[in-house]
Structure 1
């Protein structure tokens, strides 16, 4: 399997083979970087560390700065950049991961000062998606998102791609004459745009096939339930428990990218489908939301959204807010929603009590032990549209 920072789906590397950090033994050792603007840095860096570990990167240090807005040039203030450079040297890290999206200029300036590879949260999540995509549909969607992220970030390395033909030169050539570096950049951009156009056509065709399948289900009067929630909330395990399916279950972020559709029956014998969909996360990259629109249509077109919540997570309520924000963004804000508080077998009682108080209509379950599953089946039956 390719090492960290290689895009697995389409062959375009986030960390190219000729990058100075590529192939270094310390390339998989990273320092995390965050801002404390809203008091969320600690929790955000905890999640960022889990994301890094999911992608095979060892976290060897953290650094945060309290400021309301990122520095437009270097994300951090100059003093903190110097402190970060010392931490990178001390921990022998080859990489710095920022808990936010960096501009190309911020990446370039930080890399010059730190002598280490700098990536942001978006690049990290995109790389994890590239690693976990299995089907041709998933790979196409991930590659499209990766290229959308990469296109505005193309830049020359050193003087190799610098513009050398501008201005007035001998022979009458002047403005508009491009040197070899700029020509190569334009060639790369055209290649990426052509590839993105092809991928968009592939994803659109997949979306049309999904729409035809949903149309047949509606014609046969089979209601649909979309299982959604924060990543690693236990959606696939709950699908398996409810339907007897064998969907992949892993204690890992973004283990499921490709939708799994299974049919089951309510306690009264009514047939309906359950669809396991991709999990969400705080600050889910907009490139992924755009690229996965055909997959997320399974949620938009569902009769009921079964929102799975990890009751054992200390930030469960924040996760609920995050998921509902994504549902709002994709056009599923008015859907009937049923909350399932999962993992009650391991959730601290006081946390579970707080969640029950905040969401009195939620059903407490354990996909692992089966606790509360029959209550959930009955709740789904009541929430489905009249048959």
Structure 2
């Protein structure tokens, strides 16, 4: 049951713009993260972004931006350490000057050596700020510090309940941000894994996603309050979290064994289709692959304007059916920074692309970042070895193109197809383009089917197109047109002993 906008929980996005990332690319990354978060069921109400030379090792953001984030969520804005923190006089004067000038206090503060006034070595040993703490120091921070009111500008009921960071966080960074903000913190990988978990339908997809999810959760497990005691009996000496991790390892072994059995069955089915003409739709998530699949095959596959709506590979015959049949498969979409565990888990699904006769790279040409999305698709396919499969470039959603966009795309990619999955004439043109591609690879041959083997005539019509047919004393004589491999197999199958 869907939630109304007023019932949907609120989220705030956090991003760090590193050197080499343009403003356009940074904005596109944030927009994509917003779509991911919306797909997960949250409404984005704020964004906190910061330019930095590098990500802060303990809390991602600098101290000033961290406090700004905490004002939105109601957190204290600092990571409690259980000890009184002191600052050198030089650091205090530098922060005061930055505040007086109205500048954002950068996350990377100048070292005492660069400060206007030198500090004695003894003082350095005693004085330490949050930014100077290592990941290990921060991950051991205590939560017994007094709570701070925070979030002065937002009523408690309107504060975001989750912070989403546009990168993968280490376990200590995740813990530190939760302590500083007082709310749940997710990273980009966690959001993608959760979306996959919700959208998986088939048994195989659910198992693949659970493997990726457990691999993601295992290193991020922490002892809960009151659970740090050692266990008694079997496994004595292990803490609760160690026992949980052992259960995860056992569950992963069980899942991998079950998945291997399913993948073996799928490999056999793909082997049985080895002589058939196969087209695989590949591309970025939400590029319109499922809409194109429905238009080409007439199948009722799920079509939704959301990221990762399709996780299960669907194989259907081109409609109206042709002779020989052409099978079309719709594969899982790709995305920037796709977790490697998910790529590995969905390897069998992506094998549909690896073993296809033709790949159709479906690109949302109306998206301003389509070039980067196309490169992501090519990179993932290179990773699984499918980049050598013959391919055609298809720019979808052409109904949204401006005349200038159409001209620029045609000039840059003269061989590409520009179409809309909702325009029947465009879909018909793509269908004919696919048939013409396979037609150029076909050869003609003569096949004689003895009268005693007429029950197998269906094999011929499934893998070849019959051009002429006549009968003589030896049986049915057919003139066929098919791919060389199919001709060789059919000739061998009906060869007279």
TM over 0.5, yes or no?
Answer: yes
Which residue does the alignment assign to 2:182? 115
Against the structure 1 CA distance between its residues 126 and 61, is the aligned structure 2 distance closer, same or farther, given a 3 Å change threshold?
same
Conserved 8 A contact 1:225-1:306: yes
| C-alpha RMSD over aligned residues | 2.3
CA shift at 1:362, angstroms? 0.9
Change (3 A) 1:68 1:350: farther
The Cα shift of 1:28 comes to: 2.0
**Structure 1 CA distance for aligned equivalents of residues 309 and 240 of structure 2:** 37
Q: How does 1:144-223 map to 2 (within 5 A)?
A: 144-158=211-225, 160-162=226-228, 178=237, 182-218=238-274, 221-223=275-277
CA distance in 2 between counterparts of 1:188 and 1:320 reads: 40
Q: Confirm or deny: 8 A CA contact 1:206 1:294 kept in the other structure.
A: no
What residue is the counterpart of 1:31 in the other structure? 12
Change over 3 Å in CA distance of 1:198–1:335 after alignment to 2? same
d(CA) in 2 for partners of 1:177, 1:152: 22
Determine the structure 2 residue equivalent to 1:43.
28
Q: Is the 8 A contact 1:232 1:251 kept in 2?
A: yes
Unaligned residue ranges in structure 2 (runs of 5+): 74-150, 443-482, 484-497
Matched, 1:257 2:311: yes
Distance in 1, matches of 2:298 and 2:2, equals: 34
Alignment of 1:1-387 (within 5 A): 28-37=9-18, 38-39=21-22, 40-88=25-73, 89=151, 90-91=153-154, 92-158=159-225, 160-162=226-228, 178=237, 182-218=238-274, 221-264=275-318, 269-384=323-438, 386=442, 387=483
Note if contact 1:262-1:274 (Cα within 8 Å) is conserved in structure 2. yes
Greater gyration radius: 2
Contact in 2 for aligned 1:27/1:94 (Cα 8 Å): no
Change (3 A) 1:78 1:63: same
Aligned residues of 1:27 and 1:95 also touching (Cα < 8 A): no
Q: Distance in 2 between the 1:245 and 1:186 partners?
A: 48
Q: What does the per-residue CA deviation read over 1:223-255, in whole Å, with 9 as the maximum and x for residues that have no partner?
A: 211111111111111111111111111111111
CA contact (8 A) 2:230 2:239 kept: no
Query: Could you say which structure has the greater relative contact order, defined with CA pairs below 8 angstroms and 6 or more residues apart?
Result: 1
374-383 vs 89-98, which moves further? 374-383
The separation in 2 between residues aligned to 1:356 and 1:225, in whole angstroms, is 23
Kept after mapping to 2: 8 A contact 1:26/1:94 = no
C-alpha change, 1:267 and 1:161, in structure 2 (3 Å) is closer
- 8 Å CA contact 1:52–1:124 kept in 2: the answer is yes
Shift of 1:83: 1.6
Q: State how far apart, in whole Å, the 1-side matches of 2:229 and 2:355 are.
A: 50
Could you tell me how far apart the structure 1 residues matched to 2:322 and 2:348 are? 32
Structure 1 residue runs of 5 or longer lacking an equivalent are: 4-24, 166-175
On the 8 A contact 1:225/1:305 being kept in 2, the answer is yes
Distance in 2 separating the partners of 1:132 and 1:241: 22
CA distance change for structure 1 residues 206 and 355 in 2, over 3 Å: closer, same or farther?
A: farther
TM-score (norm. length: structure 1): 0.85
Contact map agreement 1:266 1:381 (CA 8 A) in 2: no
Structure 1 residues 267 and 68 mapped into 2: Cα distance closer, same or farther (>3 Å)? farther
User: How much has 1:144 moved relative to structure 2?
Assistant: 1.0
After superposition, the Cα gap between the structure-2 partners of 1:367 and 1:355, relative to the gap in structure 1 and judged at 3 Å, is: same
SS at match of 1:372: helix
Q: Runs ≥4 in structure 1, deviation > 6 angstroms? A: 265-268
Aligned mates of 1:33, 1:356 — CA distance in 2: 38
| Cα distance in 2, alignment partners of residues 143 and 228 from structure 1 | 23
Q: Could you tell me whether the CA contact under 8 Å between 2:365 and 2:395 is conserved in 1?
A: yes
Q: TM-score, normalised on structure 2?
A: 0.67
Q: How far apart are the structure 1 equivalents of 2:388 and 2:418?
A: 23
Deviations 1:107-155, CA, capped at 9 Å, x for gaps: 1111111111111011111111111111111111111110111111111
Checking the alignment, whether the CA contact within 8 Å between 2:298 and 2:319 is kept in structure 1 is: no
Q: CA deviation at 1:27?
A: 8.6
